[in-house]
Amino acid sequence: MTRAPAGGRIGRQRGGPSAAPKIPGAHAEPIEDTMETVERVERTEPEPVIALRAATATLGARPVLRGIDLTVHRGEVVALLGANGSGKSTAVRSVIGQVPLTGGSVALFGTELRRFRDWARVGYVPQRTTAAGGVPATVREVVSSGRLSRTKLGWPRRADRAAVDRAIELVGLADRAKDSVSALSGGQHQRVLIARALAAEPELLIMDEPMAGVDLASQGVLATTLREQVANGATVLLVLHELGPLEPLIDRAVVLRDGCVVHDGPPPEAVGQHALPGHDHVHPHAADEPLRTGLLT
Amino acid sequence: MEFLQFAFMQRALLAAVLVGVTAPAVGIYLVQRRQALMGDGIGHVAMTGVGLGFLLSTNPVWMATLVAVLGAIAMELIRSYGRTHGDIALALLFYGGMAGGVMLINLAPGGSNANLTSYLFGSLSTVSEGDIVSICLLAAFVVLVTLGLRRQLFAVSQDEEFARVTGLPVRALNLLVAVTAAVTVTVAMRVVGLLLVSALMVVPVAAAQQLARSFRATFVIAVLVGTGVTLAGTITSYYQDVPPGATIVLLAIAVFVLLTALAAPLARRRARAAAPPATEAQACDVAVPPAAAASGSSAGTGTDGDGVRV
């Protein structure tokens, strides 16, 4: 498979003809080879950032992943799409070791997951509707915990505190930093979770449904934040229910159905009213609910 | 202030302060991960340790610590592995521990339920020099862990899955919280008793939550409330002939009620200033309203029930 332009830091061509071409019927095909021959303009790294091969996983007795190949290269923005229950959340959670694989392999930055220790390179945004726990905590306290992948068991230094402040600023919550997260709206919770992932200044962002239950204003902030990260060379794997406002950022879409990859290529064309700019996708059966429904009701 | 002249009272007050500090310091992490009643379970298990201490004629505090630590580790492992029948396993552990304690202490030479009562409900006046040394050492361990590793324990208790992806040793930290909670239970057992230990871990934290917006403030207020009520309860039980454990817990609950009443207008003002908070629901992609089936319009969206928890 072809990767996105290797010198992707600046001058990426989004959505243009150079975006990764579609691979028909990709799900059974091996996704390696050709990579070795692609020239690297900068930052030579022979290995893909994420390499999930022939991955199978079960939840209870139910097979959720039935042999998935998923490769994400440096600088790429890959969306994992599919209906509920198609296995997309399980797929990303297996990439970070939260779901054990029953077969196949995962490697991050060329290191087999079992031996991978460099977690500061990975920023993870789990699927949550709230950033709050059982005890009050401020935005800053929650975001600070994202920095632990660098400080580990040590004490935070000045640089760590500055990184936390930057992350809070990136998601536009600087004025709420000292507020309790339980006082925030659903979209602001999601921004806190993303700031927490950004606090470690990761090279790879893995996000599970970052747009779920997020109001329009926050969707805009999140899209901007993500665009800045991508412009700075970040690699992104995100689970989405639909492409929505992130569509222009996405290089490649991988669509899952019943635990198998059924599409790996350019993002599927949105049709009908879904294609209208700024369309906020609300499912018909949820249409009579207030807009910020989704997870929150 | 004449009570300060008595050695037993000095020991009692020292023990009370240490309990007032350590119990909420551990309890805040238990409350944060919504395991507020774990301390209660550890207290039950520790009874077997007290019984063993009597039976083997060793110091009941150390024996209770040993058994409580083992019990807490077992509870943590059951929590992290056995999701399905976890609560039944915990029930077996709790009641087995309690019954074991009663049985062992009755088997012990000269042991009776009267000995047990002082451990169940606390007995400040009988705190010995040896007890105080043990309590000081154990309390130092608890303070060291809960303050020194507060960032890491906060992260693990706030969002365990995220903490694992930061590369923190989550399993070890979880076990450390369990062990620290067990140690706290035995620190507190002479003061408030095994049956009321959990109250001192939870109620000051719950009281602090009414006022605080940050974890740090919750921690500080909880420790202040804990220390305040243990000291006040101990002194009250000196002047009035009332059991110290019960006095301390009732005082803590009174503080909780008072702070809740004070905080209500404050909370209303904050609520007006901010949007409504999110609910606790998790792992939904799109909530499916119950009326969806009636409309018949959900076909074709590809969202079937799988994986949707509403």
Question: What does the pLDDT profile of chain B (310 residues) look like in tens digits?
Answer: 678 888 888 999 999 999 999 999 999 999 998 888 889 999 999 999 999 988 988 888 889 999 999 999 998 888 887 665 667 878 888 899 999 998 998 888 877 777 788 888 888 777 888 888 989 999 999 999 999 999 999 999 999 999 999 999 999 999 999 999 999 998 888 888 888 899 999 999 999 999 999 999 999 999 999 999 999 999 998 899 888 899 999 999 999 999 999 988 877 776 676 544 444 444 445 455 554 444 444 333 433 434 333 3
Contacts of B289 in chain A (CB under 8 A): 285-286, 288-289, 297
The CATH superfamily holding the domain A26-268 is P-loop containing nucleotide triphosphate hydrolases (3.40.50.300)
* Closest to B119 in 3D by CA, of B245, B222, B3: B245
Rama region for A271: left / alpha / beta (φ>0; ψ in -120 to 50; rest): beta
Task: State pLDDT tens for residues A173-220.
Answer: 999 999 999 989 888 999 999 999 999 999 999 999 988 878 888 888
Tell me if A183 sits within 8 A of B270, measured CB to CB: yes
Question: Residue A57 pairs with which residues in a beta bridge?
Answer: A65
Contacts of A132 in chain B (CB under 8 A): 277-278
Contacts of B286 in chain A (CB under 8 A): 84, 212, 241, 283, 286, 294
A136 with B205: Cβ contact below 8 A = no
Distance from CA of B277 to the nearest CA of A (A): 5
Calpha distance A190→A234 (Å, rounded) = 19
Q: Which of B168, B279, B295 sits opposite A148 (nearest CB)?
A: B168
Say whether B262 sits in a helix, a strand or coil: helix
Tell me if B182 sits within 8 A of B72, measured CB to CB: yes
Task: State pLDDT tens for residues A222-275.
Answer: 899 999 999 999 999 999 988 888 888 999 999 999 999 999 999 887 554 444
Q: Would an 8 Å CB–CB cutoff place A95 in contact with chain B?
A: no
Q: Write down the pLDDT at residue B273.
A: 66
Distances (CA, A) of A80 to A68, A227, A260, B227: 12, 18, 12, 52
Q: Write down the pLDDT at residue B130.
A: 84
Q: How many CA atoms lie within 13 A of A73 on its CB side?
A: 24
Q: Write down the pLDDT at residue A29.
A: 42
Contacts of A117 in chain B (CB under 8 A): 167
Query: How many residues make up chain B in this entry?
Result: 310
Contacts of A180 in chain B (CB under 8 A): 213-214
B289 with A289: Cβ contact below 8 A = yes
Q: How far apart are the first and last CA of chain A?
A: 41
Distance from CA of B280 to the nearest CA of A (A): 7
**What one-character DSSP code corresponds to residue A48?**
-
* Closest to A244 in 3D by CA, of A261, A268, A265: A268
Alpha-helical (H) ranges within chain B are: 7-32, 38-55, 60-81, 86-107, 113-121, 129-148, 150-158, 160-165, 170-188, 197-211, 215-239, 244-273, 292-295
For an interface test with B, the pick among A59, A258, A285, A293 (most B C-beta atoms closer than 10 Å) comes out as A285
Task: State pLDDT tens for residues A69-101.
Answer: 999 999 999 999 998 889 999 999 999 999 999
Q: Write down the pLDDT at residue B115.
A: 77
- pLDDT greater than 90 at residue A23: no
B159 with A188: Cβ contact below 8 A = no
Q: Write down the pLDDT at residue B112.
A: 73
B158 with A137: Cβ contact below 8 A = yes
Nearest CA in chain A to B287: A294
Q: Which of A128, A138, A285 sits opposite B213 (nearest CB)?
A: A138
Q: Which of A120, A135, A188 sits opposite B31 (nearest CB)?
A: A135
Calpha distance A204→A201 (Å, rounded) = 9
Quick one: chain A helix, strand, coil %, rounded to 5? Answer: 35, 20, 45
Per-domain residue ranges of chain A: 26-268
Q: Would an 8 Å CB–CB cutoff place A182 in contact with chain B?
A: yes
Which domains are delineated in chain B?
A: 20-198 (1.10.3470.10)
Residue entry with tokens 């243009």: A16
Q: Would an 8 Å CB–CB cutoff place A244 in contact with chain B?
A: no
Contacts of B218 in chain A (CB under 8 A): 135-136
More confident site: A70 or A29:
A70
A85 with B307: Cβ contact below 8 A = yes
* Closest to A127 in 3D by CA, of A70, A212, A53: A212
A84 with B304: Cβ contact below 8 A = yes
B215 with A83: Cβ contact below 8 A = no
For an interface test with A, the pick among B286, B295, B303 (most A C-beta atoms closer than 10 Å) comes out as B286
B304 with A83: Cβ contact below 8 A = yes
Distance from CA of A31 to the nearest CA of B (A): 26
Contacts of A281 in chain B (CB under 8 A): none
Task: State pLDDT tens for residues A128-173.
Answer: 888 898 999 999 999 999 999 999 898 899 999 999 999 999 999 9
Q: What percent of chain A is modeled with pLDDT above 90?
A: 56
